[in-house]
Structure 1
């Protein structure tokens, strides 16, 4: 029944936004987008939006934490209309600061409730799972740890990689704080650093290091491996999901919200709705190997369906305390 309602809502709502798109196109004022997602991932689909709607888009790119901090600093003076974030935590931080506008109920209803804010100020655009990518020439799945917390065992010393400056890892640490408690999260980070966990600039570099045998396992988002598989289906790496609801198998989202100070709120929300349409959702599923937010868009056949991942139960709105996570990462030596 829920799927049927969402499909009906999608069809009706897309019809209702046509007038907004036309009006925005005629006005021709560019939408200013702050994107915490990389240009290589998001630029093609934003260019398609402009080509189809006639609405120009100006994009400022940076790390999700960096963009969120900029928006918090700019406050009411920000020129941004839309914020696209790599994770729910940054969106939650802006929501707590009162910087995001309420979205129409019809917009929020397009995605599952678990992937939208309960106060209707942001929605997920695509889903991603945290995984342990491993070198299949060195390890079998039966040799991998049952929990992310087991990676601090001396047996894993200098064999693990991560990208602590990446927003997804930072959100993952926030989830550790929420689910395990502040003391346990701090102890885990300190132990990971002491165990010689190798730091890389980004998730892709972690996966490359696993493939090259520089490290044996790495903490990343699931889709980075698929970029390598597209180039070479025989790369010696696979994704592993921690079982039994372990915090290591966190499901997060890339999402978006409209800035409360935007003077183009209708057009800004129309962009978000367009990104939840079939064309954009198919792009996320086929080109970036992410999980679509709407029904009727197939995922890559090699992906584990979301409902088969034994992910922890967590409210994504609880991941908003980004500042404390950054402080903790710095204090424990995980961040340079």
Structure 2
């Protein structure tokens, strides 16, 4: 079984929907596009995408249809449709999914005029552009935790026995898969296994997604958790959602700038600060490269990059973008993450096998 098969199989199990059923629902829910429409398959949520699409339409006069789904569902749809797919663009929520799309030869090479625009996090395959960046962080309850006592590396977190029973994690979530895959590829399988087993000794509380986990930290139910930086900012300052989560069973809390939850960054270059990049690409099935590449260029405009920063607190990939004052400046943010090849995130097979072997999934 290939890594992409395992990726889709696991996501389907978590969501309790088969990719085939999800694909049918996705296609049935959308009308057939006209031939002059630019069709985007988006793993990013409607709350983030809608305004940008509206702005693009108004500025260019190009009609756009967006079909939404999580990354695994969209990959399944594109593979099912094959060369008959109406999609021009794929806007992915995770680099693991984008790497798989590249491996499956779904993407077209992009021109230098697009590839040279980002200041960081560029593609080694020249088939996609980075759009925004999220960072892995350690969230902690400021009332219960002294941040000066936290480890400088995420690899030392399992040794913090004082937090036994007070730790949260999301071991079936895509961003955790990307993090653990990078641990495997940079530190080796045995070190990744050691880390997982050590974390399990802390008796962590598992969450299906990040929002209820950070809510639990703010409520004092747990003390620390590995998450993505913007979940903390969203809880404190509000803002839209950039990716799909099931909010029905826990609801959305009102933003509270005084909530006792804070962000801890490990030392610069540590895997605990891993940059998780969202990306977009033109598909092989695109019938209008000029319009497709115009939209990709728009995503890298200052207007679109500032909107993403202000609406969901994600970091831009170009210079000169004004950020909310509660976010780290770009120079500091760019130094946080270790450098790595995002294309290697397609190597999920070993990660999923490891999680099964230790009994996490």
Pairwise TM-score range, normalised by the shorter structure: 0.7 to 0.9
Match of 2:225 in 1: 218
| Residue of structure 1 equivalent to 2:336 | 310
CA shift in 2, pair 1:334/1:55, >3 Å: farther
Kindly provide the CA deviation profile for residues 64-87 of structure 1, in whole angstroms up to 9, marking residues without a partner as x.
344334434544343322111122
Alignment of 1:102-181 (within 5 A): 102-112=109-119, 114-153=120-159, 154-181=161-188
From 59, 62, 74, the equivalent of 1:55 is 62
- Unmatched segments (≥5 aa) in structure 2: 1-33, 238-254
Q: 1:46 aligns with which of 53, 62, 76?
A: 53
Report the secondary structure of 1:34's partner residue. strand
Does structure 1 retain, via aligned residues, the 8 Å contact 2:132–2:316? Answer: yes
Partner of 1:195: 202
- The structural deviation recorded for 1:51 is 3.5
Cα shift readout 1:25-62 (whole Å, capped 9, x = no counterpart): xx872222222222223233223323433333332323
C-alpha contact (below 8 Å) 1:127/1:293 kept by paired residues? yes
Residue correspondence of structure 1 range 185-334 to structure 2 within 5 A = 185-230=192-237, 231-308=255-332, 309-334=335-360
CA deviations on 1:218-273 (whole Å, 9 max, x unpaired) are 11111111112212211111111111422111122111111112222222221111
Partner of 2:9: none
Bigger shift: residues 67-76 or 138-147: 67-76
Q: Do 1:174 and 1:322's aligned partners in 2 also have CA atoms closer than 8 Å? A: yes
For residues 57 and 83 of structure 2, the distance between their equivalents in structure 1, rounded to whole angstroms, comes to 26
Say which SS state the counterpart of residue 173 (structure 1) adopts.
helix
Structure-1-length-normalised TM-score: 0.84
**Count of matched residue positions in the alignment of Structure 1 and Structure 2:** 308
Unpaired segments of 5 or more residues in structure 1? 1-26
Cα deviations by residue, 1:189-214 (Å, 9 ceiling, x for unpaired): 23323432222222222211111112
**Conserved? CA contact 2:140–2:224, under 8 Å:** yes
Aligned partners of 1:32 and 1:81 also within 8 Å: yes
SS at match of 1:300: coil
Kept in 2: contact 1:90–1:322 (CA 8 A)? no
Summarize the Cα distance change of 1:36–1:186 in structure 2 as closer, same or farther, 3 Å threshold.
Answer: farther
Supply the distance in 1 between the matched residues of 2:293 and 2:197 (Cα, whole angstroms).
Answer: 42
Q: CA deviation at 1:296?
A: 1.7
Q: 1:216 to 1:99 in 2, by over 3 A?
A: same
Equivalent position of 2:244 in the other structure = none
Tell me, in whole angstroms, the C-alpha distance in 1 between the residues paired with 2:86 and 2:165.
44
Q: TM-score, normalised by structure 2?
A: 0.78
Structure 1 segments of 4+ aligned residues over 6 angstroms from their partners: none
Do the aligned partners of 1:222 and 1:239 also contact (CA within 8 Å) in 2?
A: yes
